[in-house]
Amino acid sequence: MTLSARYEEFRSKHAPKPVHGVWREVLAEFAGTFILIYFGCGSVAQAVLSYPHGQVPGPLPRADILSINLGFALGAMMAIIIAGETSGAHLNPAITLPMVLMRRLPAWKFLYYVTAQLFGAFFGALAVYTVYNDAIMYRNPDGTRKLEWPGMETAGIFATYPSEHLEYFNGFIEQICATGILSMLVLAITDRKNMGIPKDIDDAAQPAYVISKRFLEALSISLLILAIGVSQHLNSGYAINPARDLGPRLFTFCAGWGQEGWNVFYDSDKKIRYWFWIPVVGPMFGGLLGAAMYHLFIGLHLSEPRRSDGAVSDGEISDDQAQPGEAAVDSNPDGAQIP
């Protein structure tokens, strides 16, 4: 037997087997959230650590903020491309929960998705820390991790913290509003009964369209995140994603910042205790509110999509077959969702 034949025999016996069932979706959510955090928090690290030691300003200049917004937007786009076809690329518990309540995702998968998202965010933060470890240690040469300027910026690479002017209530409302906008527009982008991307082509008849549709969904959602970032970055960095904030914050707890990562301390003696729950609970309320608003104001009043030949799409019922008051909610779980 030749060497190549032996290699093929060995590979056929020992090659990794495909994962089936919900575990495929778990791996996709993990990988997608990892990519989101790697690019997003990586852009924060580059903006913060590019300044000389001891010269990092409190609020970052606008050019650095724009680069961070682009990092998260493009990271979301890449994450949706890698995970969208398998799991829908929720990448965000505040998106997964409305999907469950709208019956686009079985309820029993909720914990699987959220756990995968948290672990993906945690290990994404670990990857960023590994890449920028020397720069972080140079910023804190004694190995300490502080949450006061000029040390707070190294913790802010991974998790979000409020600006000095922000209070609890305003921070909570901001998270609800920003995540509500995210949830509402993600539903609009992925709803086949709405405009669609594009609307008048049959999926089954045009296989190439499926690829372009996924790509355009990812592009549209990344532009949505960029819009939220450039309009709502000032107060606390627009977490809009419990996994994006809690996963990296847990990493900072393990990596040396300790329990101070759950609070915020300022040089002016102002102290905000237990800030961590605001970017976790606020987005969950916002996601539900945005989904409810889309359903009541838009989705409920849309008709079923039709193919270019005028027929109702396969698996859908026609307008005259619809029951009175039936919600016009897209039942396709494969549409890219996000971050």
Mean pLDDT of 178-194: 92
Whole-number Å distance between alpha carbons of 6 and 22: 34
Encode pLDDT of 37-59 as tens digits. Answer: 999 999 999 988 887 655 555 55
pLDDT of residue 330: 38
pLDDT digits (tens, 9 = 90+) for 21-38: 899 999 999 999 999 999
- 272 in helix, strand or coil? strand
Average of pLDDT values for 223-239? 93
Decide which of 11 and 253 is more confident. 253
Note the helical H segments in 256-300.
278-297
pLDDT band at 322 (very low <50, low <70, confident <90, very high): very low
Confidence of residue 193 (pLDDT cuts 50, 70, 90): confident
Which uninterrupted H or E stretch holds 271? strand 271-272
Residues in contact with 137: Cβ distance below 8 Å, sequence separation at least 6, in sequence order: 143
Q: What is the pTM of this model?
A: 0.81
Residues 7-30, mean pLDDT to the nearest whole number: 80
Residue range 21-305 forms a domain whose CATH class is: mainly alpha
How much of the chain, in percent, has pLDDT values that exceed 90? 48
Least confident of 14-28, 120-134, 274-288, 319-333: 319-333
Measured CA to CA, the distance from residue 38 to residue 45 in angstroms comes to 10
